[in-house]
Amino acid sequence: MSVSVNHPRWVPYFFLTPFLLCFGVFMVYPLVQSIWLSLLQTYGPEYTKFVGLDNFWHLLRDTEFHLAARNTLIYTLGSLFIQLPVALGLALLLNRPGLRGRTFFRLVFFAPSLVGLVFAAMMFALLFGAKAGLLNEMLRRVVPGFPPEFPWLQEYVMTSLIIASLWMYAGYNMIYFLAALQNVDPALGEAAQIDGAGAWHRFLHVTLPEIRPVAGFVTLLSIIGSLQLFELPFVLLDGAGPENRGLTLVMYLYQNGFERNDLGYASAIGWVLAVFLAGIALAQRRLIRE
Interface residues toward other proteins, by CB under 8 A: 41, 43-47, 49, 51, 58, 126, 129-133, 145, 147-149, 151, 154, 240, 242-244, 258-261
Nearest residue (CB) to other proteins, 137 versus 185 = 137
User: Closer to other proteins at the Cβ: 145 or 186?
Assistant: 145
Taking a C-beta distance cutoff of 8 angstroms, is the pair 235, 285 a contact? no
Q: Select 177 or 234, whichever has its Cβ closest to other proteins.
A: 234
> Whose Cβ is closer to other proteins: residue 159's or residue 182's?
159
CB of 131 to other proteins, least distance (A): 6
Residue 281 C-alpha from the chain's centroid: 13
- State in angstroms the smallest separation of the CB of 64 from other proteins: 9
Specify the residue, 41 or 267, whose C-beta has the smaller distance to other proteins: 41
Choice between 205 and 260, CB closer to other proteins = 260
CB of 120 to other proteins, least distance (A): 18
Between 13 and 36, CB nearer to other proteins: 36
Q: How far is the CB of 81 from other proteins (least distance, A)?
A: 28
Minimum CB separation from other proteins for residue 44, in Å? 3
DSSP the chain: --------TTHHHHHHHHHHHHHIIIIIHHHHHHHHHTTEEEETTTEEEE-TTHHHHHHHH-HHHHHHHHHHHHHHHHIIIIIHHHHHHHHHHHTSTT-TTHHHHHHHHHGGGGS-HHHHHHHHHHHT-TTT-HHHHHHHHHSTT--S---HHHH-HHHHHHHHHHHHHHHHHHHHHHHHHHTS-HHHHHHHHHTT--HHHHIIIIIHHHTHHHHHHHHHHHHHHHHT--HHHHHHTTSS-GGGTT--HHHHHHIIIIIS--HHHHHHHHHHHHHHHHHHHHHHHHHHH-
Cα–Cα distance between 289 and 18 in angstroms, integer?
Answer: 36
